[in-house]
Structure 1
């Protein structure tokens, strides 16, 4: 159905590797938020990212650069500067005992996904089937983007951190993020991949979400995500639990020094989003336009 948002598309866009809707006015449209009050000596910043976006749509302006220049530390969902991260990611991206999942696809989807992978990467499910579904979906998504050059906010922020010689920290580990998918039946994940390849619905949703992102409409993004029955079923492990676990870490960071915190923009809005959870803790969270 048109509004059945693809779980794996959400993962690629707003998690790195929400669902009580709260009414927000147009004044709340922003990807960048200032964190102040509650005894803080200096303000910190919260920014909503999208993990895959065409290079010509990459949004970076003076507001964001100014906030970065005032910050003494950058916090991402995962600390990609940690040399152990890539090793962990490679180790955790493969199915247990290198089991091949190609025969777990529906026959129609298996043929379509195999053909797509062969055309795009030169190898099909016979080789790629040992990878976990989120890896396969990530590869497919990069090839389905309507552009050749793809940008990412995390790598941009890491580059800025290296240029300014400021530390990068993570709010969670690779293992905890990848572990989310170990809690979701593999059949549901494979069905999402198959549907992504066999119809245009997923890419239409992606286009709409990128539009909302560029308009900095985090509430609209949230509502698009919340319309999925599949996502509602797993909202706790995807957003709610993670948002709650990040708050004490964020508190420690902003109390220590001005910090630029960048997380998937799907984590910002709603009563269980990072913005409201920080407000509940006593901080003043204001949009920067």
Structure 2
């Protein structure tokens, strides 16, 4: 059985908004692409925003000819975080001394399923938190059931594959936050959730994976079709996950945009709404233009 890689980013990509278009809104952006050129009248550099979905991977990006060309024309790739040995999710969790009493969150059947799921990895599953386990299972569900990734293939996430392409072409890669910060965010986002709610959510997700139900695959098809309304005049619904992070990220992004051409690859939801990167860059005088990817 293939060793699994522990990743959590899906929790902070999609989950706080619906997928239907909103009519009658003038300050919005409706596109059929995930790639946007960013220019400023006072700058000689052209940069790009690329909205990712962390459950997709190599086949998707390789199908986007113009996105790959935009990446290769850039001097810096800016992504959400970097995979640094010793600071991977697995490393962080394994260093913990406390464990979770899983009999309070999982029945015997589900606990056996989780043990078998994690057995190929080096991660000490008992040191995970319920919030972290749900984030992992959500990611696993989207890859296994919604996208139907080949279980024998060593797929990178979309973000990590873009990072690998950049490194192979001597493009500098920088991260906007650490894995430690992302794990803290996952736990803080669900801080105070009652145990019975954690138990119900975990049980439902495990059942969804085992039954291969596609009842939570709508966002996958929505992203694959790239039929987006960015709803730029609507407030973000999650301050911790979107607003606060975007505010911090903009400080770094602005610095890089003024010095070199950049390719920014972050979860698509970070481009959306009033708090999104598109709105923030426009407020600073940048022009954002959708670019066809095929």
The aligned counterpart of 2:92 is 92
CA contact under 8 A between 2:28 and 2:229: conserved in structure 1?
no
Match of 2:140 in 1: 142
Q: Distance in 1 between the 2:198 and 2:74 partners?
A: 38
**Is the 8 Å Cα contact of residues 131 and 187 (structure 2) preserved in structure 1?**
no
Partner of 1:3: none
Match of 2:186 among 176, 181, 187: 181
Secondary structure in 2 aligned to 1:195? Answer: helix
CA shift, 1:120, in A, is 3.3
Is the 8 Å Cα contact of residues 11 and 135 (structure 2) preserved in structure 1? Answer: no
In the TM superposition, what is the alpha-carbon distance from 1:279 to its structure 2 partner? 1.0
Q: What corresponds to 2:271 in structure 1?
A: 268
Q: Which residue of 2 aligns with 1:114?
A: 111
User: What residue is the counterpart of 1:210 in the other structure?
Assistant: 220
For residue 173 of structure 1, report the CA deviation from its aligned partner: 1.6
Q: Is residue 66 of structure 2 the alignment partner of residue 63 of structure 1?
A: yes
User: Which residue of structure 1 lines up, in the alignment, with residue 262 of structure 2?
Assistant: 259
Name the CA distance, whole Å, in 2 between partners of 1:54 and 1:69: 18
C-alpha displacement of 1:212: 0.8
Contact kept, 8 Å, 1:95 with 1:131, in 2: the verdict is no
How high is the TM-score relative to the length of structure 1? Answer: 0.76
Shift of 1:208: 1.2
Query: Which stretch of structure 1 is more off in the superposition, 186-195 or 197-206?
Result: 197-206
CA RMSD after TM alignment: 3.6
Mean Cα displacement is larger for which, 191-200 or 138-147?
A: 138-147
Structure 2 CA distance for aligned equivalents of residues 118 and 84 of structure 1:
24
Number of residue equivalences: 262
Check whether the contact 2:35–2:48 (CA below 8 A) recurs between aligned residues.
yes
- Whether 2:290 is the aligned partner of 1:287: answer yes
- Structure 2 CA distance, aligned partners of 1:41 and 1:249? 18
Out of 31, 37, 53, the residue aligned to residue 34 of structure 2 is 31
Equivalent in 46, 52, 55 of residue 55 of structure 2:
52
Please say which of residues 148-157 and 209-218 is displaced more in the overlay.
148-157
Give the Å deviation of 1:70: 1.2
Which residue matches 1:104? 104
Alignment partners' CA distance in 2, 1:205 and 1:282: 41
Distance 2:199 2:240 in 1: 19
User: By how many angstroms is 1:60 displaced?
Assistant: 3.4
C-alpha distance in 1, partners of 2:58/2:260? 32
Which structure shows the bigger proportion of residues in helix conformation? 1
State whether residues 218 and 266 of structure 1, in contact with CA within 8 Å, keep that contact through their aligned partners in structure 2.
no
- What is the rounded CA distance, in whole Å, between the counterparts of 2:140 and 2:17 in structure 1? 28
Q: CA deviation at 1:155?
A: 2.2
Report the equivalent of 1:161: 166
| 1:163 to 1:207, Cα distance in 2 relative to 1, 3 A | same
TM-score, length basis structure 2: 0.74
**Counterpart pick for 1:219 among 211, 229, 232:** 229
Match of 1:257, SS?
Answer: coil
Q: Is the 8 A contact 2:11 2:186 kept in 1?
A: no
